[in-house]
Amino acid sequence: MNTTIAPRINMAADGPAFSRIVLGLWRLASWQMTPQERVSFLEQALELGVTTLDQADIYGDYQSETLLGEALHIAPGLRQRFQFVSKCGIRLVSPQRPAHSIQHYDTSREHIIASAEQSLRAMQIETLDLLLIHRPDPLMDADEIAAAFTQLRESGKVRHFGVSNFTPSQFALLASRVPLVTNQIELSLLQMQALTDGTLDLCQRERIVPMIWSALAGGRLLTQEPTASPQLQRVQQVLQQIAAELSLPVSTVALAWVLQHPSRPVVLTGSGRLAAVREAVQACTQVLSRENWFRLWTASAGRSVD
């Protein structure tokens, strides 16, 4: 076992420095850890250089931030060693939010501020390093969001702002009013759309670093039966070939494929197993040959490049 450490990268010209591998906590509630086990897991992640934690108000049916807060309460020194990311803008129908009658978006100034403040309370921290609008809201008023962001920054509650799942057009709209340091988007060998629909072009052009969710396609690249789809079968086969050739775990190869994009993305890992985090970190130092990168692209696309 090597001792690779996740490197750090500046997310934008005036953005925060994040670890290339980010610990995604959307399944934290399902990991069934005691508060002390959560502390241990966080400490082990730190030893791998994984210093950035990704949350959202709604994760774990509005419970994930609280679970993290319990860990930070019993190990308060951890707060200084992590960067904290959270999101807002979705209202779920949930026993936790009995007032909600329909799942909807809310990017009003009041909701953004209240949600960020609730995230701080739940996580028992004083400042978010980054707050994202979780989904593009058709009722998004860019001036109103900018006002909310400005108020949160001036009050010291949030340092930087970004978006998630935004099209280039939606990003350009909000960025015309307030600086954004990232767009958190989906990219994997089973979902390559961001390569061609302009999303990653815009990141590179604006010199902002994308955050990638579902880089292992929700784990399907590793664990789903290859018979699920011809695409999955092709991709798994080539992944296994390359992994064997390079003596690397399959997940490391799949994540290296994503990390190699010239926008220099940071990648979320959503696993509660330290071995999985370690395989992700290992991907940060692997550079696939162009031939291997395109063997995987070709397997995913089901055709050669033009």
Which residues of the chain form contacts with its own copies (CB under 8 A)?
90, 100-106, 108, 135-136, 138-142, 144, 165, 167-170, 172-173, 176, 192, 195-198, 201-202, 204-205, 260-262, 290-291, 293-295, 297-298, 304-306
Residue number, 50 or 175, with CB nearest to its own copies: 175
Minimum distance of its own copies from residue 252's CB (angstroms): 19
Minimum distance of its own copies from residue 201's CB (angstroms): 4
Minimum distance of its own copies from residue 47's CB (angstroms): 32
Residue number, 270 or 272, with CB nearest to its own copies: 270
Residue number, 63 or 165, with CB nearest to its own copies: 165
DSSP assignment of 163-213: EES--HHHHHHHHTTS----EEEE-BTTB-GGGTSSHHHHHHHHT---EEE
DSSP H stretches of helix in 49-198: 59-62, 64-74, 109-123, 142-154, 168-175
Which entry of 41, 59, 84, 161 is annotated as an active-site residue? 59
User: What does the alpha-carbon distance between residue 73 and residue 254 come to, in Å, rounded to a whole number?
Assistant: 35
Question: Any catalytic annotation for residue 59?
Answer: yes
Residue number, 43 or 201, with CB nearest to its own copies: 201
Of 130, 150, 197, 152, which Cα lies nearest the Cα of 170?
A: 197
Of 138, 189, 131, 187, which Cα lies nearest the Cα of 156?
A: 131
User: Which amino acid is located at 187 in the chain?
Assistant: L
Minimum distance of its own copies from residue 205's CB (angstroms): 5
Which positions are annotated as active-site residues?
A: 59
